[in-house]
Amino acid sequence: MLNQLIKQAAADVASPSRRGFLKGAGGALVLGAMLPRTGFASEAATPKVVGPADPRPQAFIRIAADDTVTVLVKHLDKGQGIMTGLTTIVAEELDADWAQMRGAFAPADGALYANHFFGIQGTGGSTAVANSWDELRMAGAAARAMLVATAAARWSVPASSVTVEKGVVRHAASNRSARFGELAEDAAKLPVPQNVALKDAKDYKLIGNPSLHRLDHVSKTDGTAIFAMDIRRPGQVTAVMARSPRFGGRSRWTPPRPSRFRASWRC
């Protein structure tokens, strides 16, 4: 018997078949693919990737008077850490303090928040960071430049002499400083700069920093996080499967309309 198995295995290796390949894979092979379907835009119709010439801080960044910075994340976080990861990109270019960062899901707006790889507003294919990397870096850098310009105008100093660190805009020569929340309202009135310098990777303080805590770890621990199954709509009803209260019990289901069959199943 053993000799027969060895001969069969040798034959499968020499001339592999689909059945033999799947038997040998033993569940260790995982293939992933995104198949085109109705509703996906063609490559020609896919919106262009937002680049250095098109920063949009107003679409992705909200700075409140209390200094909190909320990043609108256009991808869904299903546990893969998108909320934290994408917020980190903005915080890095903005030179914000991680303690002031917040995350929120963007509203439904396919024109503004489309996944540039798909042409629609959607999440999948491990595209979130790659899709939003340049977009959010430009948004963060543009917002930072607008805050700096506002502070420079208030203090009548050159913008080049103003620095930002951990959410504080500072002019060292005159020992003046301001927090984001103090400058945000006036900064929002400025035109968005179209050419802003981005950080060099060697200067990153937040991106790649393992000490940062996830933004959603508290809510997912204390039960305050809201998931799709938590949503309740007016008049909503919930359907659940009725199971036998006894192990091994049997239930019988009769179709609501006359039928030629009856079905039963184990519960």
Instruction: Tell me the pLDDT tens digit for each residue of 49-65.
Output: 444 446 678 889 999 99
pLDDT at 4 (0 to 100): 54
The 3-class secondary structure across 34-97, one letter per residue, is: CCCCCCCCCHHHCCCCCCCCCCCHHHHEEECCCCCEEEEECCCCCCCCHHHHHHHHHHHHHCCC
- How many alpha carbons fall within 13 Å on the CB side of residue 185? 4
Question: In whole angstroms, how far apart are CA 60 and each of 48, 75, 139, 261, 265?
Answer: 17, 12, 7, 57, 52
- Using the predicted structure, report yes or no on whether residue 157 has a pLDDT greater than 90: yes
8: pLDDT confidence band, cut at 50, 70 and 90?
A: low
- Residues 181, 69: Cα–Cα separation, whole Å: 9
Of 73-77, 119-123, 163-167, 216-220, highest mean pLDDT: 163-167
CA atoms of 22 and 26, how far apart (whole Å): 7
Per-residue pLDDT, 23: 43
- Spatial distance between the Cα atoms of 71 and 89, rounded to a whole number of angstroms: 10
Q: Output the pLDDT for position 244.
A: 78
Q: If you average pLDDT over every residue of the chain, what do you get?
A: 78
Answer whether residue 39 shows pLDDT above 50: no
Of 28-32, 156-160, 202-206, the range with the lowest mean pLDDT is: 28-32
Query: Over 50: is that where the pLDDT of 112 sits?
Result: yes
Instruction: Please give the average per-residue pLDDT across 129-149, as a whole number.
Output: 93
* pLDDT surpasses 50 at 25: no
Q: Is the pLDDT of residue 5 over 90?
A: no
What confidence category does residue 261 fall into, taking pLDDT thresholds of 50, 70 and 90?
Answer: very low
For the entire predicted model, the pTM comes to: 0.68
- Distance between CA 176 and CA 188 in Å, rounded? 21
Q: What is the percent of the chain with per-residue pLDDT over 70, rounded to a whole number?
A: 73
- Residue 34: the pLDDT is 30
pLDDT band, very low/low/confident/very high, at 217 (cuts 50, 70, 90) = confident
